[in-house]
Structure 1
Amino acid sequence: MRQEILTLGKHTLIYGTGIIISRAVSFIMLPVYTRYLTPADYGIMELLFMAIDIIAMIVGLGITGTVFKFYSDYKSPEEKREVICTAIILIFVIASVTAIIGFIVSPNISQVVFGNTDNSYYFQITFVIYFLQAGNNIPLMFIRAMQNSTSFIVINLIKLLIQLSLNLLFLVWFEMGVIGVLYSTLLAELTIASYLHVYTFHKIGFRFSISKGRQMIKFGYPFIFASLSNFVITYSDRYFLNVYSTLTVVGIYSLAYKFGFLMGYLAVTPFMQVWEPQRFEIAKQDKVLPIFKRVFLYFNIFVISVSLFISLFARDFLTIMSDPSYYEAYRIVPIVIIAYVFQAWTFYCNFGIYIKERSKHMAFANFISAMSNILLNFVLILEYGALGAAWATVGSFFIRFLLVYMFSQKSFHIDYGWGKQLLLVILSIFIYMAGRTIEIPGIGISLVKNSFLMLLFGILVYRFILNKLEKSIINQFIRNPVSFVKIAQ
């Protein structure tokens, strides 16, 4: 079991680096965005990229969610390559039709979202970006499936450098505003798409399978409703805020929400990039239950640590990096982080639904959660504004986690060791409340205080969460990190 966990940790680190690089542009550019875009402009930009997400969720037929499962099911390299090629072609056809239709009806969409047609061109560019991003997804999944970590990191690094360079050029030099951000995203996606498709088809050839395509669509289509519900949970609050408040509030709330995404990018997505394909292979072994339980503890230590770090340092970060008009976002950040901890648990604990191919259960759980989110948004946003939107997200994410957990456990029971998991949560709450209680003026002193609290949290985890073997491994690493790395390899 130790070897599997070490391998998982190694690949999580490698692919995590790639994911962080791919998502880094939105955070590296925050000082620029918050100075060269007004909160209202930032709100418009968020609503545009929100449109890309909902389009991808509705029209993708859930195909991307099925790729790893079918790739794992087949044994021969030929059939594995056929799965990838079939998925690429299906996505290409769907994305092409969707982008063309969307380009034509962009004035209507702008009217619905903004109440006018002034932003129609923004939506037309957004549909082109959607087409490129949708086409890039499967080739990137193929690289992950082959565990080609070097290519994965290099591709994401090149994309990051292109986007950063063009963002600085269009926003700072030419002062193009929102359209400059869209152009930089478009050109970066186009560059990466050109390489990815040449590379992928060179590796797999042309191997379309009608039968495999039908299987993917049959298994994946319930995930359309799951994804659509997930979109409602994640983004409907912006719509309510836009209707009942202002674009400025949408911009501030969206900035705070970025920290929830940041937690996912740093802690959850890198792990799931590796764990998602591997868990199907591990499930074939006799040792599946102990591995799932232990990995969940390590996963939670990482997730809770990153969540606590972001919650403690959010105010400091915003003070240093953003314009004063965005400072109030720090009050929303910890609430959004709570929601994303529940989402992390949902991702990990949904295995029974996937292994037993009961995707309708996932769709049902997401639907109920989405309906509760709409109700909570309506009630809480009217009364509490952006803070109400954040708590509505927490409530709906918690409901979804409970439903997914119950369905999954009924299909494939796993002991997750909730005693230690909840103790970990309690320790993090204790540290966070200590940080909120001890208010010290001055950014430098605040940074020192929060750093000390993170160190204290690490000590508490070491003392109360880890077992003797894990403590001895950490002690060995502290005494001689070089030799430890060699042993791990």
Structure 2
Amino acid sequence: MSYSLTEIIKHTSIYSFGRLASKAIGFLLIPLYTRFLTPEDYGVVEMLTMFIALSGIVIQGGISAAIFKFYNECKSKIEQDELICTILVFIFSLSLLFCVCTSLLSPTISLIFLKTEDFSFYVVLMVVSFFFSTIANVPETYLMAEKKSKIFTLISLATLVINLGFNIYAVAILNLGIEGILYASVAARVFNNILLFSVFLNKVSFKLKFNKLKQVLSFSIPMIPAELGLFVYAYVDRFFLTHMSDLQSVGIYSLGYKFAFMISMLLVQPFMQIWQQKMYEIKKDEDAAIKFGKMFTYLFAFVLFAALFMSIFIKDTIAIMAAPEFISAWRVVPIIAFSYVFKSMYLFFQMGMFFNSKTSYLSYIALLGALISICMNYLLVPHLKELGAAFAILISTISIAAITLFVSQRLYKIKLEFLELFKIIMLGSFLFFFYINISIEFPFISIMVKLSSIPVIFFLIRVFNVCNCKAFSFSKLIDSRY
């Protein structure tokens, strides 16, 4: 079965916009937060977010990936409805039990993550928001499996508007600080659930068949150690900064990380959501190995140049958007942004494990990545603080990407375009070192100067024929099947 590159780009673009709407609230509120919160307050919010991320792994595991896999294998609409509804009931029950237990233990959790029991009420509010976020994941995944990208985006936009309004009112008008942020989060999550389930219940017949749950869990549970390993590798830096530095360092680092995370939110995650479904279709083609190699080249190029653009403009952007005490956050952004280039490589080459049902390999790789991250943070954070944490995540990401590529190529070999990848790396490196040395005191002028030189980048891309751009045209993208 052939596939259309246009279809993947189309849905990735729409989901990217939808994900931006649903996840960009923290980014859009940076000017508000950095003026009404101290770096220490920002650090508290980040550590609470870290706890919720860990909770999400425990409760959800690889459920989303399992839905994509088994939903496509269902032979009828009835089977699909049974699968989705059974998973929803399971997630709802488990989440409710978890949240009740966690609320009772909130003083202990506050002590572990924030070195004091004073923030236990914040933990309870965060857990309530987490409950609504978790159960919303099932209808969201259903919309993606059904390729209802426009509905997904409209709901995300509506939630964004409500969330912005609640945050501005609670933080800027009522001056509730961190508590206002958490109240706004709960209210926005409830609103989001109302919208999602109004669509979900209208399209899905409520049917249960718990023998399907065994298949789902047998696929997803082996992925939980992998997710935990990835959590440690991605979040342990905040823990080391909290206990080996201070919450101010956590706040500054977290602001920089939030900017760099836009690479993942806008490109990597939306692509992978579509790719997890399309790769099984492409595998059936005779020339699948070539198609996989070409798609990786495009993904690598897009993410690398996105990280480059982020690095070029980040110092000026933070100077404009954030309060002066947060300006040093720009230093960690290029390091973390380029780590997402390797993160995309790691996620892409998991296909070898998925095709051969070797998901346990992902656990070994992720746990090794976590170990490397712990070691690097232990060595670097005491001396370099925020920069040490950034370099630690870059080193650990490169490590797991290289190992995943090595293992995947032995399970399912694809034809990599080494010449194209080399040209992308060389051009990207040249442009990075060229722009990083441009220093203009006034942010707006600096941005205008850099923007005026952007056409030179596209000229160099065409001169060096990166990704075969001379033979690539919009009409070919629309008409051809890759």
Shift of 1:144: 0.9
User: Residue 459 in 1 paired to residue 459 in 2?
Assistant: yes
Shift of 1:65: 2.6
The SS at the match of 2:318 is helix
Shift of 1:273: 2.1
The SS at the match of 1:119 is helix
Aligned match of 1:401:
401
Residues of 2 paired with 1:462 and 1:15: CA distance? 28
Asked if 2 retains the 8 angstrom alpha-carbon contact of 1:83 and 1:212, the reply is yes
Residues of 2 paired with 1:194 and 1:437: CA distance? 50
Asked if 2 retains the 8 angstrom alpha-carbon contact of 1:59 and 1:224, the reply is no
Asked if 1 retains the 8 angstrom alpha-carbon contact of 2:48 and 2:113, the reply is no
Amino acid at match of 2:294: R
Residues of 2 paired with 1:273 and 1:35: CA distance? 35
Residues of 2 paired with 1:397 and 1:187: CA distance? 35
The SS at the match of 2:439 is coil
Indicate the larger mover: 264-273 or 353-362: 264-273
Aligned match of 1:366:
366
Aligned match of 1:295:
295
Residues of 1 paired with 2:48 and 2:68: CA distance? 29
**Tell me, which stretches of 5 or more residues in structure 2 are unaligned?**
none
Aligned match of 1:225:
225
What is the CA deviation profile of residues 230-288 of structure 1, one whole-angstrom value per residue up to 9, with x for unaligned ones? Answer: 11111111010011111111000001111221111122122122222111122122232
Shift of 1:3: 6.1
Alpha-carbon distance change, 298 to 486 in structure 1, aligned in 2, over 3 angstroms: closer
Aligned match of 1:382:
382
Q: What is the TM-score normalised by the length of structure 2?
A: 0.95
Amino acid at match of 1:202: N
Amino acid at match of 1:441: E
Residues of 1 paired with 2:36 and 2:386: CA distance? 23
Aligned match of 2:172:
172
Residues of 1 paired with 2:36 and 2:359: CA distance? 44
**Tell me, which stretches of 5 or more residues in structure 1 are unaligned?**
478-482
Amino acid at match of 1:342: F
Aligned match of 1:205:
205
Aligned match of 1:50:
50
Asked if 2 retains the 8 angstrom alpha-carbon contact of 1:58 and 1:225, the reply is no
Aligned match of 1:334:
334
Aligned alpha-carbon RMSD (Å): 1.9
Alpha-carbon distance change, 186 to 371 in structure 1, aligned in 2, over 3 angstroms: same
Residues of 2 paired with 1:416 and 1:89: CA distance? 43
Shift of 1:2: 9.0
Indicate the larger mover: 399-408 or 369-378: 399-408
Residues of 2 paired with 1:379 and 1:198: CA distance? 50
Alpha-carbon distance change, 69 to 453 in structure 1, aligned in 2, over 3 angstroms: farther
Residues of 1 paired with 2:51 and 2:232: CA distance? 12
The SS at the match of 1:274 is helix
Shift of 1:304: 1.4
Indicate the larger mover: 55-64 or 233-242: 55-64
Amino acid at match of 2:320: I
Residues of 1 paired with 2:166 and 2:210: CA distance? 41
Where do residues 118-267 of structure 1 align in structure 2 (5 Å cutoff)?
Answer: 118-267=118-267
Indicate the larger mover: 138-147 or 58-67: 58-67
Aligned match of 1:471:
470
Alpha-carbon distance change, 203 to 420 in structure 1, aligned in 2, over 3 angstroms: same
Residues of 2 paired with 1:351 and 1:33: CA distance? 39
Residues of 2 paired with 1:208 and 1:386: CA distance? 49
Aligned match of 1:97:
97
Shift of 1:52: 0.9
Alpha-carbon distance change, 487 to 357 in structure 1, aligned in 2, over 3 angstroms: closer
Amino acid at match of 1:471: K
Shift of 1:315: 0.3
The SS at the match of 1:221 is helix
Q: What is the TM-score normalised by the length of structure 1?
A: 0.94
Asked if 2 retains the 8 angstrom alpha-carbon contact of 1:72 and 1:281, the reply is no
Shift of 1:202: 3.0
Residues of 1 paired with 2:478 and 2:59: CA distance? 47
Aligned match of 2:82:
82
Residues of 2 paired with 1:444 and 1:108: CA distance? 47
Residues of 2 paired with 1:288 and 1:127: CA distance? 44
Higher relative contact order (CA 8 A, sep 6+): 2
Shift of 1:20: 1.3
Amino acid at match of 2:110: S
Amino acid at match of 2:257: Y
Shift of 1:453: 4.5
Residues of 2 paired with 1:271 and 1:465: CA distance? 24
Indicate the larger mover: 424-433 or 135-144: 424-433
Aligned residues: 481
Aligned match of 1:480:
none
Asked if 2 retains the 8 angstrom alpha-carbon contact of 1:64 and 1:87, the reply is no
Residues of 1 paired with 2:358 and 2:476: CA distance? 42
Asked if 2 retains the 8 angstrom alpha-carbon contact of 1:309 and 1:454, the reply is no
The SS at the match of 2:206 is coil
Aligned match of 1:268:
268
Indicate the larger mover: 156-165 or 198-207: 198-207
Residues of 2 paired with 1:58 and 1:434: CA distance? 44
Asked if 2 retains the 8 angstrom alpha-carbon contact of 1:74 and 1:80, the reply is yes
Shift of 1:440: 2.7
Asked if 1 retains the 8 angstrom alpha-carbon contact of 2:108 and 2:117, the reply is yes
Q: Indicate the percent of aligned positions where both proteins have the same amino acid.
A: 31
Aligned match of 1:439:
439
Residues of 2 paired with 1:202 and 1:223: CA distance? 31
What is the CA deviation profile of residues 198-255 of structure 1, one whole-angstrom value per residue up to 9, with x for unaligned ones? Answer: 4323322222222211111111112111111111111111010011111111000001
Asked if 1 retains the 8 angstrom alpha-carbon contact of 2:423 and 2:466, the reply is no
Aligned match of 2:40:
40
What is the CA deviation profile of residues 327-381 of structure 1, one whole-angstrom value per residue up to 9, with x for unaligned ones? Answer: 0111111111121111011111110111111110000000000011101100111
The SS at the match of 1:437 is coil
The SS at the match of 1:228 is helix
